[in-house]
């Protein structure tokens, strides 16, 4: 069974600084997808970034980038130039390839951006 | 495009009752997934429906069931409610192709007393 582990329950960063959130996963599959989702307080979950396992290039979306280490089964999220609006719970999620959209989530990291 | 909508947003029920939650996906999306979010267990997958068929199911008791209609709208039902069913129930829609982004609704907050 696949598992996703986020070892940092809470993190804090100063506005404009850079922060990295950790995520490791366990799978014996080769075809899968990885995601980072953001859930702001009392607001909807939204996708931050998506990575296809067969692509070696790390995904980037504006200030958000990932460090995808397939052999180490590691998928960390780097947020550059942190903004107050980045304050949220961040979830790492795994999806197997094939005919399913089932997401397996980690326990989340609560990120607080301090002014 | 309108986003994913879930109704009702808040619900209070008594143990033993049953409840039905509704989810309307983004127009054109054929896949709807349901998740339960609790402080203790985190986010757990309940089931996924694609073109009116259950495509995948999580490890929840049979009290949890769902269905999808021809317009892709989905409902989930929980019978014989228990206190532990208190949670935020999230619905997510996607076009259906595996690996694509899931768009989440605002959730239904269910409280069982």
Q: How confident is the model over A43-89, as pLDDT tens digits? A: 899 999 999 999 889 999 999 999 999 999 999 999 999 999 999 99
Largest CA distance in chain B: 39
CB contact under 8 A, A102 and B100: no
**8-state DSSP, B25:** P
CB contact under 8 A, B45 and A45: no
Where does A2-107 have alpha helices with state H?
none
CB contact under 8 A, B107 and A44: yes
CA B79 to chain A, closest CA, distance in angstroms equals 23
Q: What torsion, rounded to 10 degrees, do the Cα atoms B35, A32, A90, B82 define?
A: 20
Q: ∠B56-B59-B65 over CA atoms, to 5°? A: 65
B57 pLDDT band, cuts 50/70/90, is: very high
CB–CB of B98/A100 below 8 Å? yes
**B43 vs A: CB within 8 A:** yes
Residue B35 has pLDDT above 90, yes or no: yes
Which tens digit of pLDDT belongs to each residue from B63-88?
A: 999 999 999 999 999 999 999 999 99
């Amino acid at each position: 069974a696949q598992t996703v582990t986020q070892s940092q329950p809470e993190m804090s960063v100063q506005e404009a600084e850079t922060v990295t959130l950790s995520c490791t996963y366990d799978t014996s599959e080769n075809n899968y997808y990885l995601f980072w989702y953001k859930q702001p307080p009392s607001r909807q979950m939204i996708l931050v970034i998506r990575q296809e396992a067969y692509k070696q290039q790390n995904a980037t979306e504006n200030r958000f980038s990932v460090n995808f280490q397939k052999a180490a089964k590691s998928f960390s999220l780097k947020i550059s130039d942190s903004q107050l609006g980045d304050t949220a719970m961040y979830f790492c999620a795994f999806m197997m390839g094939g005919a399913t959209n089932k997401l397996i989530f980690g326990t989340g990291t609560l990120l607080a951006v301090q002014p | 495009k309108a986003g994913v909508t879930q109704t009702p947003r808040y619900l209070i029920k008594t143990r033993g009752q049953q409840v039905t939650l509704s989810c309307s996906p983004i127009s054109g999306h054929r896949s709807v997934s349901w998740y339960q979010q609790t402080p203790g267990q985190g986010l757990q997958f309940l089931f996924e429906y694609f073109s009116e068929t259950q495509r995948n199911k999580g490890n929840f008791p049979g009290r949890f069931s769902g269905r999808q209609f021809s317009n892709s709208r989905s409902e989930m039902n929980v019978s014989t409610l228990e206190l532990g069913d208190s949670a935020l129930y999230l619905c997510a829609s996607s076009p259906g192709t595996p690996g694509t982004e899931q768009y989440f609704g605002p959730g239904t907050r269910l409280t069982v007393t």
